[in-house]
Structure 1
Amino acid sequence: MKYVIGVDLGTSAVKVLLVNSEGEVTAEASEAYPLHQPRSGYSEQDPEDWVRGTLAALSRVVKESGVDPQAIEGISFSGQMHGLVLLDENHRPLRNAILWNDTRTTEECRKIEQVLGEDLLRITKNPALEGFTLPKILWVKEHEPDVFAKAKVFLLPKDYLRYRLTGQIHMDYSDAAGTLLLDVANKKWSSRVLEAFGLEASFCPPLVESHGYVGNLLPEAARETGLSESTRVFAGGADNACGAIGSGILQKGLTMASIGTSGVVLSYEDNKDQDFGGKVHFFNHGKQDAFYAMGVTLGAGYSMSWFKNTFAKDKSYDELLGRVSEVPVGSNGLLFTPYLVGERTPHADAMIRASFIGLDGSHTLDDMARAVMEGITFSLNESIELFRQAGIQVNRIVAIGGGAKNEDWLHMQADIFNAEIVQLANEQGPGMGAAMLAALGCGWFDSLEACAAKFIRYEKTYKPNPERVEQYKKLFEIYKQVYTNTKSLSEQLAPFRP
């Protein structure tokens, strides 16, 4: 039997999957690492923590599986997007990595908009948001000039990890698309953007395809993990791109809905000139010469965990949600907007905050629980509505994450999205997508589609109920008004927040 490894470098932990040629997960391991938040709005990690955690997880997988290291043919990676790793002339980190959820760069975003104007969306296909990489680069340049003066190249998190395992520096297109430095349609670093901010072309790493071969394990990495030095290493992709691959989102008409801490709706696209006017993200896919549109709800699963911890701390999720099917559509006249930490799509608004609308003395915990589920799903539906307005077909949606583990929520998604919802039998998230890229790179398959046919299995399909679809259409129109009517109130309340 042959094997590959998928490494998913997340924000709180790294997860390693050992996958055989039948697409079965033979072994897995994860290692957590700390998040550093020295000031409000700051979010950083030590890149060496990623390396230590990954080496430990790889070692455990090799040892506990008992698989012959020579049979493990390849490794690839999925990684948290946008994080800035600055390297000196010896390729050593100059400071902690600044992560995707760091919000210190609002001024830099406004500067990018001012300097680039219409070229920003024309070239990068995305608006300037605090999470992206270029604003972080400009922040270091402005606030830590001594550090920036020593910077010779930047990397994203998984690319630094891969460099430490191979000694080779590269970046794939799907992750580069989230930097605001890539000409997304033409798949090259943008000279216009680089020149506008005084950045040298050499500051950007060489670009490769996600399934591209980038080297073999260094002797010391092989020794620490128990893997063979002959193990081939492939570039990998951004976590959302790998999540799409691992869910089989590889052709038009297929969409993924992921409800984790944040929520993501992602739809396959092959038209490089598709124009969303910056209302949704548009990135290069991990599949060669393909793209995806993506909308984000910042407080998706987080809203549910907040609700549970605040109102039902002693209940399990099964207990908390066990009776939501008995509550009618619309939660007995109660709406919830999941803006606990601001919002991303379609409202890039860091100041907006969540609301329960219509709450009265008759409402129960079950009503509120259903309202939270509906509100999260309504928020994701705003992205789906934008996709459809742009001509993207959204007929079949693969549900992953916490929202795919509750049958009532799957029915709800089918009705609110007005689309078939498909549940995976073997969901492994971005780590499986990384393993599939390694399998393709190793030559096991001639395409990702062929790999998906072998590796991905669907369990159950949920179809929309026409009556509930019509009810939810009316409620969705009311839901969309809540943002407009609470925006000013949220801004006025901001000075009173801790």
Structure 2
Amino acid sequence: MLLLGIDVGTSSVKVTVVDAQTQQTIAAAQYPETESDIIAPKSGWAEQSPDMWWEHVQLAILKLHAQRKYNPQDIAAIGIAYQMHGLVIVDKQQQVLRNSIIWCDSRAVELGDKAFEEIGREKCLLHLLNSPGNFTASKLAWVKQNEPDVYAKADKIMLPGDFIAMKLTGEISTSIAALSEGIFWDFQQNELSKDVFGYYGFSDSLIPTIKNVFTEHGRVSANISTTLSLKEGIPVSYKAGDQPNNALSLNVLQPGEVAATAGTSGVIYGVSDQLTYDNESRVNTFAHVNYTTEQKRLGVLLCINGTGILNRWIKSIAGESMNYQQMNDTAKTINAGSDGLIIFPFGNGAERMLNNKIVQAHMHNIDFNKHSTAHLFRAAQEGIAFAFRYGLDIMRENGMDPKIIRAGKANMFLSDVFTQSFVNVNNVAVEFYDGDGSFGAAIGAGIGAGIFADAVAASKERKPVAVAEPKQTALYQDLYAEWKEILKSKLYKNDEVNILS
């Protein structure tokens, strides 16, 4: 029995077929091979076409089938992981009304900050566990205010994974986990937030049917089964945001367990059994995939928008002729600290851990006679690792102090320079596992379809493939101290953003 996982990322769509019995990957593919574009009509804006996602999902699945490593008719269930916080709006005919305003878009920050103050900071944090910030609810408020014709035609709103499930099945649903990541959910009242809906003037009719994460969200329709060579009527039995899904794939489900990713954005994601929140909403708390009102499991999420996207940008301007492995090998030729070159990766919209400020990326101490492209490659990866340390210190303030972090051996963690910078500056080991978000989505599908008894049974075969241990912590503490001092003195005025002391 086979399971199909779909991961709708910002850069590409990845798909994996997993053997349910062995929990091993049979085949994997992605589409496109190069990164998908982000549409930026104005500075700080970021959009993608949902129809592009759907096209890429179909092409990725057909590319997967073309490997001829399995019989597509043996696929018994489908799971979907997706980039979090994106807003998709459809009309009564399920037609998309505008491009999706995606996770790193900053246009709604001012609206969200105003809602935070007028609903009440304490009330928001207690009930929503977050500021409305620039999350999905505030993005919808921006559409309502600035595109009233679009808003008037809206029948349902959804997140990217809900949209792909709709295209596969014709049905629209959501979950408490999805609603919490959009800042639509009141954790104290266990219902849609009357405060958010009342303040923004939303109708709750915009919200699709609420279902469990692990359940049937519709069945593959006849026309789609023909197009994609899938068996008609197989269930879409799991949908989750990419970071909760990544945690599931790494068996990070219980309080105190922590996962990390370093793709386009960087994330540390820890599990808590408390309705916890950061007083300044610099890290965010959402319902985890295994959250129920009876057994609370919350995901505490640190997000750094500018992570792999910085590495991609450096490649486009300085390493275009290289692949990422060649860049990583070149970075290894430079000593730790990049001979004084320091890079701050904050160039992809408002950074929540920096109080939702748009500060952009910066380079410091450039020496034309000393620094080369190799220095750029290394300084970028070190700067990303230092940003992780800054965010992890905020999580530590809030009671999340990991002794070990689990991660997939993918994206930035494929680089020895980044990996060693990460473990050394954070002084915490990282366990690595094979598989990516589409693998996790396939496992989730098996849980939702009842093929696995529970998440524990679904992960019993998962073993780490490598461990990275801290080795040069003193050196990296000194390098980080310099990085943070420049952050304090040159990038901000102290009255604009709270800088960790």
Aligned-pair CA distance for 1:483: 2.1
In structure 2, the CA distance between the partners of 1:342 and 1:482, relative to structure 1 (3 Å rule), is farther
Q: Select 1:410's aligned residue among 411, 419, 427.
A: 419
Helix, strand or coil: the match of 1:322?
helix
Mean CA deviation greater in 19-28 or 93-102: 93-102
Whether 1:204 aligns to 2:213 is no
- After TM superposition, the structure 1 = structure 2 runs for residues 258-273 of structure 1, keeping only pairs within 5 Å, are 258-273=261-276
In structure 2, the CA distance between the partners of 1:370 and 1:29, relative to structure 1 (3 Å rule), is closer
Aligned-pair CA distance for 1:236: 1.1
Whether the aligned pair in 1 keeps the contact of 2:341 and 2:379 (CA below 8 Å) is yes
Aligned-pair CA distance for 1:185: 5.9
In structure 2, the CA distance between the partners of 1:278 and 1:17, relative to structure 1 (3 Å rule), is same
Cα separation, 1, equivalents of 2:101 and 2:280 = 27
Cα separation, 2, equivalents of 1:408 and 1:39 = 34
2:308 is matched with: 301
What do residues 56-84 of structure 1 show as CA deviations (whole Å, max 9, x unaligned)?
Answer: 43344345436444421111111122222
Mean CA deviation greater in 390-399 or 359-368: 359-368
Cα separation, 1, equivalents of 2:463 and 2:28 = 19
- In the superposition, the TM-score normalised over structure 1's length comes to 0.88
Whether the aligned pair in 1 keeps the contact of 2:388 and 2:422 (CA below 8 Å) is no
1:3 is matched with: 2
Q: Select 1:112's aligned residue among 110, 115, 123.
A: 115
1:448 is matched with: 455
1:435 is matched with: 442
Helix, strand or coil: the match of 2:23?
coil
Aligned-pair CA distance for 1:255: 2.1
- After TM superposition, the structure 1 = structure 2 runs for residues 64-143 of structure 1, keeping only pairs within 5 Å, are 64-65=67-68, 67-118=70-121, 119-130=123-134, 132-143=135-146
The one-letter code matched in structure 2 to 1:477 is A
The one-letter code matched in structure 2 to 1:388 is R
Segments of 5+ residues of structure 2 without an aligned counterpart are: 497-501
1:29 is matched with: 29
Cα separation, 1, equivalents of 2:142 and 2:39 = 18
The one-letter code matched in structure 1 to 2:359 is I
In structure 2, the CA distance between the partners of 1:3 and 1:282, relative to structure 1 (3 Å rule), is same
What do residues 448-495 of structure 1 show as CA deviations (whole Å, max 9, x unaligned)?
Answer: 1321222x3311112112xx2123223323322222212358999xxx
Helix, strand or coil: the match of 1:241?
helix
Aligned-pair CA distance for 1:98: 2.4
In structure 2, the CA distance between the partners of 1:419 and 1:42, relative to structure 1 (3 Å rule), is closer
Cα separation, 2, equivalents of 1:440 and 1:309 = 41
Cα separation, 1, equivalents of 2:317 and 2:202 = 47
In structure 2, the CA distance between the partners of 1:97 and 1:355, relative to structure 1 (3 Å rule), is closer
What do residues 361-383 of structure 1 show as CA deviations (whole Å, max 9, x unaligned)?
Answer: 67443444433222211100112
Whether 1:52 aligns to 2:55 is yes
2:19 is matched with: 20
In structure 2, the CA distance between the partners of 1:381 and 1:29, relative to structure 1 (3 Å rule), is same
Whether the aligned pair in 1 keeps the contact of 2:44 and 2:348 (CA below 8 Å) is no
Aligned-pair CA distance for 1:262: 1.9
Whether the aligned pair in 1 keeps the contact of 2:7 and 2:15 (CA below 8 Å) is yes
2:487 is matched with: 483
Whether the aligned pair in 1 keeps the contact of 2:264 and 2:306 (CA below 8 Å) is yes
- After TM superposition, the structure 1 = structure 2 runs for residues 61-460 of structure 1, keeping only pairs within 5 Å, are 61-62=64-65, 64-65=67-68, 67-118=70-121, 119-130=123-134, 132-184=135-187, 187-275=190-278, 277-289=280-292, 290-322=297-329, 324-325=331-332, 327-341=334-348, 344-360=351-367, 363-365=370-372, 366-400=374-408, 401-424=410-433, 426-428=434-436, 430-454=437-461, 456-460=462-466
1:495 is matched with: none
Helix, strand or coil: the match of 1:223?
helix
The one-letter code matched in structure 2 to 1:9 is V
1:496 is matched with: none
Q: Select 2:469's aligned residue among 460, 463, 470.
A: 463
Aligned-pair CA distance for 1:394: 0.7
In structure 2, the CA distance between the partners of 1:314 and 1:229, relative to structure 1 (3 Å rule), is closer
Helix, strand or coil: the match of 2:255?
coil
Cα separation, 2, equivalents of 1:318 and 1:61 = 24
Helix, strand or coil: the match of 1:271?
coil
Segments of 5+ residues of structure 1 without an aligned counterpart are: 493-498
Mean CA deviation greater in 391-400 or 301-310: 301-310
2:499 is matched with: none
In structure 2, the CA distance between the partners of 1:276 and 1:115, relative to structure 1 (3 Å rule), is closer
The one-letter code matched in structure 2 to 1:431 is S
Aligned-pair CA distance for 1:356: 3.4
The one-letter code matched in structure 2 to 1:339 is F
What do residues 212-268 of structure 1 show as CA deviations (whole Å, max 9, x unaligned)?
Answer: 222321222222212112312213101111122122322333322222222112122
Cα separation, 1, equivalents of 2:414 and 2:66 = 31
Helix, strand or coil: the match of 1:65?
coil
Whether the aligned pair in 1 keeps the contact of 2:275 and 2:298 (CA below 8 Å) is yes
- In the superposition, the TM-score normalised over structure 2's length comes to 0.88
